[in-house]
């Protein structure tokens, strides 16, 4: 049978059919004032009993509730005691002479319809919570509530109409391996639950599920949205093979997503993503990024006929910052130059574009372009999770001028009464040797550093890494580059500013322990690289990394360094 694919993965197990006692309308008309008073009292008592139920679940320490589950339960208590709900139900009992059961069914039904009719996926899904608390009241009214949840066997696949939010919390899911439901969609509570637990789920299968009995053998193929009951031998073998393969491929990655990056001796490291648009944010979150360490803004300026307006830029930055859900987003001002020409902005052909008119040098020269971009970034900072960063700073006077222009942009916004973050953190890329050597001076004037290893390496070693003949000289393990990196990190820590790295070196698994040992606090890279780097951080010890770093810094050539790091990592 086919349903909606709500959470991927393959599961093979035995069915447990979760049935609910359904309370139906009675059509009773209350005769006397005494009846009315009695039904009102019954309703109030059922609500109190429902609240007590939830408090019991909350205080049951054995259930190890996480924060999200506690939130759901707290929200349910608020819904159960909602004055609007109470007023409506009591009014129905009093004015329409309905009994408590009928009044609750009708009022809950109305709220469910209101929520389902809303133009917002989140609110539509809240209908499940309202139905859930409604059923709880009804079960308490009719004393039909099962007070003890069922005990599942190993490898149970739960078959149900739907998994209500409170079921999801009250049921012991440790032996559950998949879900299949009659109703529900991709954004339903069951789907969210399945994804958060990394269990395959197929939802909205309809009446076809009614044929399934307890202990039937069930295969759930989450990605394809398939539920197979009592498969034949061939089908079973086929899925058994798929199951093994799926688990090999996905064995370590998903489990790492939610866990923080932390060394074995407890040093927390921030793992961030490099992105180029709001769309990249989905991947970043999926791979467990704790924010964005580098939001390149060039994409918005390319493939078009004119500079993007302030509003266009604002939308571009704001949508990414919004998607980051409060996690920090570092927006870098444009890093264009002779090597990345724009159709509508004539840049003279240069002998040495990497040593030429580019990045912050253009921004400081063309203040009109710069101010527009800064105002758009500042407006996005109204979300309070945005940081601004300048690329390719080579001298302190450039930084000061850039900050002055930022201040002017702020003043313009203040005058037009536009909201922005007055204390927006301001940082700089360190990617020129001159900035690296004077990191102590810069550290006193910015809120954070982000080390750009690609340019730093080519400027320090005087190597164009696009040049085939000399590309082997491009080597971030050259002691000169490593010394600069270590010096910058030391100075940042000395002046108590945040230091991250957003160049390719940050995603090189061989360099992770070395960078940890240097004291790097934040690694930013393309999202797909995050799980592998997180794994290395989680398996290593900061004190040991410091010793490895000392060893490396005493070596005089990159071959010895690479050999040594390779030996350390294979231990």
> What is the contact surface with other proteins in residues (CB under 8 A)?
71-72, 74-75, 78-79, 82-85, 111, 114-115, 118-120, 122-123, 126, 129-130, 318, 322-326, 382-385, 419
Active-site positions read 189, 502
Min. distance of Cβ 317 from other proteins in angstroms?
Answer: 13
Instruction: Give, as one character, the DSSP assignment of residue 345.
Output: B
Place of tokens 């086919």: 2
Contact assessment for residue 330 and residue 447, using Cβ atoms and an 8 Å cutoff: no
Q: Rounded distance, CA 135 to CA 322, Å?
A: 35
Closest CB to other proteins among residues 75, 240: 75
**The residue to which tokens 């266009």 are assigned:** 312
Locate 451 and state its tokens. Answer: 């080390």
Nearer to other proteins, 318 or 448 (CB): 318
Give the residue with the Cβ less far from other proteins, 358 or 379.
379
Instruction: 531-536: list long-range contacts, CB under 8 Å, 24+ apart.
Output: 531/252, 531/253, 531/256, 531/257, 531/287, 531/288, 533/261, 533/271, 533/506, 533/507, 533/509, 534/256, 534/259, 534/261, 534/271, 534/288, 535/252, 535/256, 536/509, 536/512, 536/569
Stated length of the chain: 571
Q: Which is nearer to other proteins, 78 or 172 (CB)?
A: 78
Minimum CB separation of residue 72 from other proteins in Å reads 8
Each residue of 133-159: b (16+ CB within 10 Å) or e? bbbbbbbbbeeebeeeeeebeeebbbb
Of 148, 77, 72, 142, the C-alpha closest to 105 is 142
Rounded (10°) CA dihedral 525, 531, 532, 537: 90
The CA distance from 100 to 104, in Å, is 6
Locate all alpha helices (DSSP H) within 422-497, ordered by sequence.
433-437, 439-443, 453-461, 479-494
Q: Which is nearer to other proteins, 115 or 307 (CB)?
A: 115
Nearer to other proteins, 317 or 318 (CB): 318
- Residue 266 CB, shortest distance to other proteins, in Å, is 23
Q: How far is the CB of 84 from other proteins (least distance, A)?
A: 4
DSSP 183: S
Which residue's structure tokens are 């991947």? 283
Q: How far apart are CB 268 and other proteins at their closest, in Å?
A: 17
Nearer to other proteins, 180 or 383 (CB): 383
Q: Which is nearer to other proteins, 387 or 486 (CB)?
A: 387
Helix (H) or strand (E) holding 221: strand 217-221
Helix (H, G, I), strand (E, B) or coil at 326: coil
Helices 558-570 and 542-553, packing angle to 10 deg: 160
The count of C-alpha atoms lying within 13 angstroms of the C-alpha of 516, restricted to the half-sphere facing its C-beta, is 34
Nearer to other proteins, 78 or 539 (CB): 78
Closer Cβ to other proteins, 283 or 464, answer by number? 283
The structure tokens 């490291």 sit at 269
Render 70-115 in DSSP notation, one character per residue.
HHHHHHHHHHHT-HHHHHHHHHHHHHH-B-HHHHHHHHHHHHHHHH
Q: Helices 542-553 and 479-494, interaxial angle, to 10°?
A: 130
CB neighbours (10 Å) of residue 229? Answer: 18
């Amino acid at each position: 049978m086919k349903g909606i694919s709500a959470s991927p993965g393959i599961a093979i197990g035995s069915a447990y059919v979760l049935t609910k006692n359904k309370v139906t309308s009675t059509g009773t008309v209350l005769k006397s004032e005494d009846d009315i008073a009695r039904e009102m009292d019954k309703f109030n008592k059922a609500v109190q009993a429902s609240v007590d139920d939830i408090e019991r679940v909350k205080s049951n320490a054995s259930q190890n509730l996480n924060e999200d589950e506690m939130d759901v339960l707290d929200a349910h208590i608020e819904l159960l005691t909602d004055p609007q709900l109470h007023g409506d139900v009591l009014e129905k009992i009093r004015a329409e002479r309905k009994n408590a059961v009928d009044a609750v069914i009708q009022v809950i039904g109305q709220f469910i319809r209101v929520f389902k009719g809303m133009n917002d996926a989140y609110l539509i899904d809240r209908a499940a919570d309202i139905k859930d608390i409604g059923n709880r009241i009804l079960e308490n009214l009719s004393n039909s509530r099962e007070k003890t949840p069922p005990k599942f066997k190993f490898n149970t696949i739960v078959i149900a109409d739907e998994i209500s939010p409170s079921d999801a919390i009250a049921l012991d899911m440790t032996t559950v391996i998949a879900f299949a439901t009659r109703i529900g969609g991709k954004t339903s509570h069951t789907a969210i639950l399945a994804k958060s637990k990394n269990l395959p789920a197929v939802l909205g299968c309809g009446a076809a599920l009614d044929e399934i009995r307890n202990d039937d053998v069930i295969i759930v193929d989450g990605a394809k949205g398939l539920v197979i009951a009592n498969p034949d031998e061939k089908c079973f073998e086929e899925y058994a093979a798929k199951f093994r393969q799926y688990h090999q491929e996905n064995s370590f990655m998903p489990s790492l997503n939610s866990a923080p990056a932390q060394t074995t001796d407890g040093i927390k490291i921030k793992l961030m993503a490099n992105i180029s648009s709001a769309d990249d944010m989905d991947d970043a979150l999926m791979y467990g990024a704790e924010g964005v360490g580098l939001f390149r803004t060039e994409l918005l300026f390319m493939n078009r006929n004119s500079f993007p307006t302030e509003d266009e830029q604002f939308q571009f930055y704001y949508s990414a910052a919004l998607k980051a859900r409060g996690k920090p987003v570092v927006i870098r001002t444009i890093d264009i130059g002779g090597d990345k020409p724009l159709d509508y902005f004539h840049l003279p052909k240069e002998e040495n574009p990497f040593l030429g008119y580019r990045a912050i040098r253009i921004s400081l020269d063309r203040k009109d372009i710069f101010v527009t971009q800064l105002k758009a970034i500042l407006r996005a900072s109204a979300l309070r999770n945005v940081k601004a960063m300048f690329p390719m700073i080579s001298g302190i006077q450039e930084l000061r001028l850039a900050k002055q222009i930022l201040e002017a942009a702020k003043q313009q916004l203040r005058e037009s009464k536009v909201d922005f973050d007055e204390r927006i953190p301001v940082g700089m890329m360190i990617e020129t040797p001159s900035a690296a050597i004077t990191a102590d001076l810069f550290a006193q004037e910015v809120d954070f550093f982000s080390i750009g290893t690609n340019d730093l390496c080519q400027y320090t070693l005087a190597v164009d890494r696009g040049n085939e003949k000399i590309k082997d000289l491009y080597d971030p393990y050259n002691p000169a580059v490593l010394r600069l990196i270590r010096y910058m990190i030391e100075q940042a820590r000395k002046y108590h500013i945040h230091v991250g790295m957003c160049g390719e070196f940050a995603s090189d698994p061989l360099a992770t322990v070395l960078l940890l040992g240097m004291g790097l606090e934040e690694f930013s890279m393309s999202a797909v690289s995050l799980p592998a780097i997180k794994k290395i951080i989680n398996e290593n010890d900061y004190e040991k990394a410091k010793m490895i770093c000392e060893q490396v810094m005493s070596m005089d050539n990159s071959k010895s360094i690479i050999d040594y790091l390779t030996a350390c990592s294979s231990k």
